[in-house]
Amino acid sequence: MRRVKSPNRYSPTIVDPRLASETTELTSLQLEGVSHRFGHLLAVDAVTLAVEPGELLLLVGPSGCGKSTLLRLAAGLEELQEGRVLIDGAVVANPGRSTPPEDRGVGLVFQDYALFPHLTIFDNVAFGLHQGNERRQRALAALESVGMADQAGGYPHELSGGQQQRVALARALAPRPRIMLLDEPFSGLDARLRDRVRDETLHILKDSGTTALMVTHDPEEAMFMADRIAVMQAGGIAQTGSPQEIYFAPRNAFVASFFSEVNRISGRVESGSVTTPLGTISAGDIEEGSAVEIMIRPEALILGDAAGSACQATVQAARLLGRTSLIHLAVPATEPAIHVHARVPGCVLPAVQDTVGLNLNTELVFVFPASRAT
């Protein structure tokens, strides 16, 4: 199993000094032992998490796992029940004491944009700024940074969803926040627009050097945006790491299956490995005789000629999905035959009932003790 470590894809540089923080120091955010209940429901369970200066950290997980609650606790929108929240080492919240959100130096961007319909675009962005000579300059700089300066005199209802989201981002950037907190900011956009707006947002955040914590339920979005990812499960952190670490070295089956479809095969460790219809797979340091669950990403299955391959399979269906094809396969080496999916380049589209060879890319095959495969 491989672990990949690489530098951030973007180096934060300030492209417009009018959007720079009041200080040249980048800011960190820390949550220490944070727990939160809604009645009897434990929504956040003893979470400790640090966002490094200038880093974009993505909180990702299924609905109801506690990620938005954690973001609201960091923002000061929920009263902290247990633990501490620190910004640059200074405590801004602990039980019984909380710095108001407006005094934490955080910028907030939500799914619903929350623009004032009766105010112009300029006035929406300038709304949270103190009166003074720099107010107009900051608001226009923020609008320019998101490509919306030419719409300053318009109103929110005149804009598309993507334009409204950019205005919401400009409003959050205008006060020069120390931390940006974004809660599912692109989920209301259609797929094509979402791709473009999140790409623009990524560059804006990295160019401004802003420390950011963002919530999403979309694993592909997390992989695209993040310097690091924190995967949440049932109120806790299941794993934290770079996108490469999360994808190539998941700690459990939940993390492995959250980031892509997987083929699941049960087995038992014998002589340090597990024998499956797809071949023999190393069990690593899992105890001899243990029941295990094997997780195989679809792209780990490599199609080839039947002769000379580790095993053979019959094509049951082949679906072109654009850049890739999804191939449904029956492996007849067992009774009944196991059904697996292979994801291959779109130019590969074998005919139904063809017999193909299968080989495994073991870097995309993960073995977990059955008791931990959750």
| Cβ-based burial of 43 (10 A; exposed 0-12, middle 13-18, buried ≥19) | buried
Conformational region of residue 110, where left means phi above 0, alpha means psi within -120 to 50, and beta covers everything else: beta
Structural domains of the chain in order of their starting residue, each with its CATH number: 17-254 (3.40.50.300), 260-372 (2.40.50.140)
What is the model's pLDDT at position 25? Answer: 57
DSSP per position, 43-90:
EEEEEEEEE-TT-EEEEE-STTSSHHHHHHHHHTSS---EEEEEETTE
β pairing state of 211-216 and 179-183: parallel
What is the model's pLDDT at position 11? Answer: 33
What is the model's pLDDT at position 21? Answer: 46
Q: Mean pLDDT per segment of 10 residues, for the chain of length 374 residues?
A: 37 39 66 96 96 96 95 95 95 94 89 87 88 84 87 92 87 87 87 84 87 95 96 97 96 94 94 92 93 96 86 94 94 80 93 94 94 58
The pLDDT tens digits of the residues spanning 329-355 come to 999 866 677 999 999 998 889 999 999
Segment 334-342 long-range contacts (CB within 8 Å, at least 24 positions apart): 334/277, 338/265, 338/277, 340/263, 340/278, 340/296, 340/298, 340/301, 340/313, 341/261, 341/263, 341/298, 341/301, 342/298, 342/299, 342/301, 342/302, 342/303
The answer to whether 47 and 35 are in contact (CB under 8 A) is yes
What is the model's pLDDT at position 335? Answer: 67
Packing angle between helix 191-208 and helix 134-145, nearest 10 degrees? 130
The pLDDT tens digits of the residues spanning 165-216 come to 889 888 888 888 889 999 998 887 888 888 888 888 898 888 888 899 999 9
What is the model's pLDDT at position 142? Answer: 87
Tokens of 223: 């992989």
Q: What is the pTM assigned to this prediction?
A: 0.84
